[in-house]
Amino acid sequence: MQAAFWLTVGLLCLTVEGLAIARKPQPCRSPPLFRGTFTVGSQNEKFGAVGRFAYDALQQRIHLGEMGTYNNKSYTYNTLFLFEESVMYEINDKEQTCVKKALQSDFHPMAVPKGATFVSQVVLGSSSGPGQGLLVNNWWGNVPGQGNYMVTFSEFGCYPVSSLSQTKEFGWMSVSYFDNVLGAEPHWFIPPPFCADAELVESEDGKVTDFFSAFH
């Protein structure tokens, strides 16, 4: 009888342990095609912005439209990144002008970075009732030469929720994503007609533009 009792306890422990392992969140990748809204802010208050984005991992394209402040000066920015063509377009719809620049940057899918460590799983909002909260996973990591970061993705769908990363110029940078919608219209990724005659130019400092400079 005792043997049967301890065998049952042992099996229950193994079952609980197995469920815990099975439930541990695993690194994920966002849907290949979606759009949404974002806000960006820096620790030193030198930079802040709000805007919309469209993301296409299938053909490696990203479109950013934002407005904000940089060093106490207001700006608007409309940028299309075409990674497969290694070019980016800075688009001014009001003036009907377009600047085409070389893009030297690999496409990085929206996903939990390789090497990131799982930190915690929490509910944003409330878990008291259906539809009252969002289940998310927090991940922590380090980029050599740059600093630490923390990213948060939804448990279901793997949509980005927020990111926090260290930078040399701004200190900690915070990005929040919201109103994500699956899919994106093709026109988001097509340069407007007035960009057809744009010639490839270098950036003002003579360096080839990369993706992350778009946030500066």
Q: What is the pLDDT of residues 69-107, one digit of tens each?
A: 988 899 888 999 999 999 999 999 888 999 999 988 889
Query: So what's the pLDDT on residue 131?
Result: 85
The two tokens of residue 107 are: 């496409």
8 pLDDT more than 80: no
**Residues 93, 177, 82, 69, CA torsion sign:** positive
Report pTM. Answer: 0.81
pLDDT at 205: 53
pLDDT over threshold 50, residue 116: yes
For the chain, the structural domain boundaries read 33-108+183-215, 117-177
pLDDT band of 2, cuts 50, 70, 90: very low
